[in-house]
Amino acid sequence: MPVRAFPEFPTINLKKEAMPFRMSRTLRFWVEVECEGLDLRMANNREVASILREFEGCGDAMRSLNMRGQVIWKATRQMLDRLADAEREVEDEWANER
C-alpha cells in the first residue's frame, strides 16, 4: 500500500490571490476610504494602484523596498502631519462644545 506524503486538497475553490499591496495602516485606511469602504482584498487591483499613484503624486504616499526587496507603501510625513492637525482641530471643537 503506497503512503502519501502530501495530502491532496480540493483546488476547486482556490481563487487567484489579489496582488498584495503592502502598505502602512494609515495609508491602507485612506485607500479603503477612496475605494468607498470596500475591503481591499475585494477591490480591483487597478483601482488600488491608481489611488496609490494619485496619493504619491500629491505627496501623501511614498513607496520603498522592505528588507525582502518587496515594494511597500507608506504615508508621508506631510500626510501624517495634516491628519494630526485635523485630529487636533476636532478635539478642540469637541472640548469647546462641552
Number of structural domains found in the chain: 1
User: Residue 98 falls within a domain, yes or no?
Assistant: no
38 assigned to some structural domain: yes
Q: What is the pLDDT of residue 13?
A: 47
Largest interatomic CA distance in the chain? 79
Domain encompassing residue 65 = 22-93
Task: State the Cα–Cα distance between residues 3 and 50, nearest whole angstrom.
Answer: 50
Residue 75 falls inside a structural domain: yes
- The CA-based angle 30-32-38, given to 5 degrees, is 165
Assess if residue 37 is contained within a domain.
Answer: yes
pLDDT in tens, 27-78: 998 888 888 877 777 778 888 888 999 999 999 999 999 899 999 999 999 9
Residue 16 within any structural domain of the chain: no
CATH code (residue 75): 1.10.10
Domain annotation covers residue 5: no
